[in-house]
């Protein structure tokens, strides 16, 4: 049975995040429909700053809707807003079921420019920065983000991963994940330590070369958590309305009384029980749409149609 949460303002029901099902993320269980925190404070190219009140409202509404998996990073900030500060302000004291996933590796200067991937010995400072900003003594999951951009970087991740293992043994974090990686880097990581999640850019018409990596994660019981599953992040990159298959996606959306973005999220969750979704937004109304996508059930015919669009993109 799908749990539904009553919207006190409109007296209508909104599907709860539990409608998407659950997954065991290391030693914690999360609803498969979560929240990405990057957009809470706004993006660097926004014409005007995002409302701090809206960011806090999104976080608190997410909790009301059953979201218990939030993805963040210390380098999610604008000149006026920090995602970690918004999370800390909105949600402390933290509920026992809340899992906050953060990431380390690259960093950003005060001006917002990304700096090169930190050396292994620098990761402790990045972990401690997340601990301070979030007001926690231990982090639930820390992802090693490989590289500074969205293009995958070659090379061994062993030394950096080993540094995180040491920090786990020191009690600063509980579980380790990796991000922006190849199948070979996942195999290398699994030979070193248990990996609870892989977080890569992936979506219906975006980075479908990772289909095989997604399946590899499933075989190893590793969560696959796509970022930018609905749309690319930066200006100048294709938006959903410009990408192949928009008419077919719109037709499936109409059948379900949903938006094309909701269908993209639903398709993501249909890729396997180990696939999680972390759509980001700084808008409370968009948050409810995203959470509601977890309750959409696509037919085999619809999945075949959508899979064909993505494979041809």
Task: State the Cα torsion 70-20-299-210 to the nearest 10°.
Answer: 30
Instruction: Judge contact between 98 and 68, C-beta under 8 A.
Output: yes
* 76 is known as an active-site residue: yes
- 113: burial class by Cβ within 10 Å (0-12, 13-18, 19+)? exposed
Number of Cβ within a 10 Å radius of residue 221: 12
Query: Among the options 23, 76, 202, 227, which is catalytic?
Result: 76
What is the Cα–Cα distance from 69 to 22, expressed in whole angstroms?
11
Alpha-carbon Rg for the chain in angstroms: 19
- 8-state DSSP, 155: S
The token pair that represents 70 in the structure block: 């939030």
The H-assigned helical ranges of 152-210 are 158-169, 183-190
Alpha helix positions (H), the chain? 52-64, 83-91, 123-134, 158-169, 183-190, 211-219, 246-256, 260-269, 284-292, 300-312
Q: Give the active site residues.
A: 76
């Amino acid at each position: 049975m799908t749990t539904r949460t009553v919207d006190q303002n409109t007296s209508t029901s909104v599907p709860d995040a539990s409608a998407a099902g659950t997954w065991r993320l290391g030693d914690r269980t999360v609803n498969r429909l979560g929240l990405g925190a990057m957009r809470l404070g706004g993006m660097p190219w926004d014409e005007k700053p995002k409302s701090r009140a809206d960011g806090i409202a999104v976080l608190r509404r997410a909790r009301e809707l059953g979201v218990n998996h939030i993805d963040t990073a210390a380098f999610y900030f604008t000149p006026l807003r920090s995602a970690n500060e918004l999370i800390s302000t909105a949600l402390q004291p933290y509920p026992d079921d809340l899992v906050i996933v953060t990431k380390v590796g690259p960093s950003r200067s005060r001006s917002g420019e990304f700096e090169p991937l930190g050396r292994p010995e620098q990761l402790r400072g990045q972990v401690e920065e997340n601990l301070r900003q979030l007001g926690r003594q231990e982090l639930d999951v820390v992802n090693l983000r490989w590289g500074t951009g969205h293009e995958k970087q070659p090379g061994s991740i062993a030394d950096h991963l080993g540094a995180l293992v040491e920090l786990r043994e020191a009690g600063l974090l509980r579980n380790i994940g990796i991000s922006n990686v190849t199948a070979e880097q996942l195999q290398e990581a699994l030979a070193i330590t248990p990996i609870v999640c892989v977080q890569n850019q992936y979506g219906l018409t975006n980075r479908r070369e990772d289909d095989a990596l997604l399946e590899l994660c499933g075989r190893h019981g590793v969560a696959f958590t796509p970022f930018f599953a609905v749309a690319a992040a930066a200006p100048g990159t294709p938006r959903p309305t410009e990408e192949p298959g928009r008419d077919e996606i719109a037709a499936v959306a109409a059948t379900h009384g949903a938006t094309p973005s909701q269908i993209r999220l639903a398709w993501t969750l249909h890729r396997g029980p180990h696939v999680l979704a972390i759509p980001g937004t700084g808008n409370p109304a968009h948050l409810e749409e995203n959470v509601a996508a977890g309750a959409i059930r696509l037919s085999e015919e619809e999945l075949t149609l959508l899979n064909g669009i993505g494979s041809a993109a």
